[in-house]
């Protein structure tokens, strides 16, 4: 048991952020169970490559996944964007690589163009199909995690 020693348990308990967790970790066993459940959750989430082709495509590489998250973040803020802005936001990757991923996603209709108010820029947003797949995938995993935490309390 990794948290057998009281000192280790107390140190970990001081450092982890429990504010968003409706759970009292009042024993090393509960802390161990939380770690086990987090590992199961993360493993399942990473192994689940999504149901829809559009989501599976974005989950294949970290670059595509980060592009997906960037597009979804902007979309959720009511802020569609254009290619160059996406490329700037993902500047840790090469311009050419991100441009290629965006173009491929557009070709596959996973993301779509939307005309800007001034009709000068072609704004990018997720397709309805991608939005539905993304929401369903995340809801499923949030539910899985909530159920895993409930098991610790029971």
Quick check: is 37 in a domain?
no
Task: Check residue 11 and give its pLDDT.
Answer: 84
Sites in the chain below the pLDDT cut of 70: 1-4, 46, 49-50, 116, 119, 144, 147-154
Task: Check residue 43 and give its pLDDT.
Answer: 77
* 111 contacts 105 by C-beta, under 8 angstroms: yes
Task: Check residue 1 and give its pLDDT.
Answer: 44
Quick check: is 127 in a domain?
yes
Task: Check residue 4 and give its pLDDT.
Answer: 56
Supply the pTM of this predicted model. Answer: 0.72
Range of the domain at 96: 53-134
Quick check: is 152 in a domain?
no
**How far apart, in whole angstroms, are the C-alpha atoms of residue 2 and residue 28?**
9
Quick check: is 96 in a domain?
yes
Say how many C-beta atoms besides its own lie within 10 A of residue 127's C-beta. 16
Task: Check residue 154 and give its pLDDT.
Answer: 58
| Domain count for the chain | 1
CATH of the domain at 117: 1.10.10.10
Say how many C-beta atoms besides its own lie within 10 A of residue 23's C-beta. 14
Quick check: is 90 in a domain?
yes
Quick check: is 58 in a domain?
yes
Quick check: is 16 in a domain?
no
Quick check: is 145 in a domain?
no
């Amino acid at each position: 048991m990794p948290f057998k020693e009281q000192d280790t348990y107390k140190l970990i308990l001081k450092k982890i952020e429990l504010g968003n967790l409706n759970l009292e970790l009042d024993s090393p066993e509960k802390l161990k169970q939380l770690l086990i459940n987090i590992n199961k959750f993360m493993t399942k989430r990473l192994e689940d490559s999504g149901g829809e082709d559009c989501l599976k495509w974005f989950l294949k590489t970290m670059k595509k996944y980060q592009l997906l998250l960037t597009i979804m973040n902007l979309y959720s803020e009511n802020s569609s964007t254009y290619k160059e802005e996406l490329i700037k936001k993902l500047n840790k990757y090469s311009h050419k690589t991100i441009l290629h991923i965006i173009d491929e996603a557009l070709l596959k209709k996973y993301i779509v163009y939307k005309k800007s108010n001034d009709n000068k820029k072609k704004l990018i947003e997720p397709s309805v199909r991608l939005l539905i797949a993304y929401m369903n995938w995340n809801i499923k995993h949030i539910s899985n995690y909530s159920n895993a935490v409930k098991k610790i309390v029971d």
